[in-house]
Amino acid sequence: MRLRLLPAPPFRFSPAGGHPKHPFATLLFSLVLTATLASALPGTHSDGSAQGPPRYKGRIIAPVMSAAGADWLNRPEREQTEMPDRLLDALQIEPGMTVADVGAGIGYFSWRIAGRVGAEGRVLAVEIQPAMLERLEAEMRKRDIRNVRSILGTPVDPNLPARSVDLALMVDVYHEFRHPEAMISRIRQSLKDDGRMVLVEYRGEDPAVPIRPEHKMTVQQVLLEILPMGFRLQSRLDFLPWQHVFIFVKDSGNRPAPSN
Ligand SMILES: C[S@@+](CC[C@H](N)C(=O)[O-])C[C@H]1O[C@@H](n2cnc3c(N)ncnc32)[C@H](O)[C@@H]1O
């Protein structure tokens, strides 16, 4: 992917587009993804504009991370910079819960959550890229984890069961949604009444966070986008070195229909 000022990734990053350069795999992935997105909905921009990169409420929507660069998601230094176990501790995940890991990648968070929800709980690991899901499933088999269900989503629908999710987690994902309102509307429908939706995003206000700008988000931008989608901010956690953590719950007085 394109966080990409990090030390020695196993591949070369494009200075302009930010995708890893694996010659044929990356080209093929780009063509397939472009065709998929183009066929999913008419038009190319979530805010209705026709020129330039896709935008939503002034923000450039980041390109989807290529599965060709998925090893980057397992980089060892991630434990220090993103503290996955401390993050999950803070989210108070209990045995028996149903947790949706939306944009699960290769399952970096899914297997950690699986241990916390236990045999009575389940993890619904949603991805838009089959190649990511294949690697996620292999990882779960390797770890003999049986309470993770992989789900192939689309750019507008995570295909989650309605009113069934206690916690929907998106780590470094929301900024890639090509159709944010459609996705968040569906995720909202999947939540139980007291369900929580958590966004973890690299801090856009902090130039010291070595991430490309379109892969970061400011507090102001996240609230500008998410609050009108029928949520209120329950709390924001800022103990992670590089990321904001936003915990949202349903705002029952505000339930707009998606327009993208
Ligand atoms: C930067 S990766 C993060 C993966 C994982 N959350 C992690 O922290 O290791 C973002 C992932 O979101 C996925 N993604 C982007 N848009 C999506 C959508 N609309 N539905 C499901 N997954 C999506 C991408 O395919 C990619 O694997």
Interval 172-194: pLDDT, tens: 999 999 999 999 999 999 999 99
pLDDT tops 90 at residue 115: yes
The residue whose CB lies within 8 Å of the most ligand 1 atoms, and thus the one to mutate among 173, 186, 190, is 173
Residues 91-103, mean pLDDT to the nearest whole number = 98
What mean pLDDT is predicted for residues 30-40? 38
Ligand 1 in contact with 173 (CB < 6 A)?
yes
Dihedral sign, CA of 26, 31, 37, 43?
Answer: positive
User: What is the value of pTM for the model shown?
Assistant: 0.84
Q: Per-residue confidence at 30, pLDDT binned at 50, 70, 90?
A: very low
Closest Cα to atom 22, ligand 1: which residue? 103
Is any ligand 1 atom within 6 A of the Cβ of residue 168? Answer: no
Span 4-15, average pLDDT: 28
pLDDT tens, residue by residue, 146-176: 999 999 999 999 999 999 999 999 999 999 9
3-class DSSP assignment, residue 249: strand
Phi-psi region of 73 (alpha: psi -120 to 50; beta: other; left: phi over 0): alpha
Euclidean distance between CA atoms 159 and 187, whole angstroms: 9
Ligand 1 touching residue 103 (CB < 6 A): yes
Atom 11 (ligand 1) nearest CA: 103
> What pLDDT band is residue 6 in, cutting at 50, 70 and 90?
very low
pLDDT at 260: 60
Domains of the chain: 1-260 (3.40.50.150)
Ligand 1 in contact with 100 (CB < 6 A)? no
pLDDT grade, residue 15 (50/70/90)?
A: very low
Dihedral sign from CA coordinates of 101, 105, 107, 112: negative
How close is the Cα of 104 to the center of ligand 1, in Å? Answer: 6
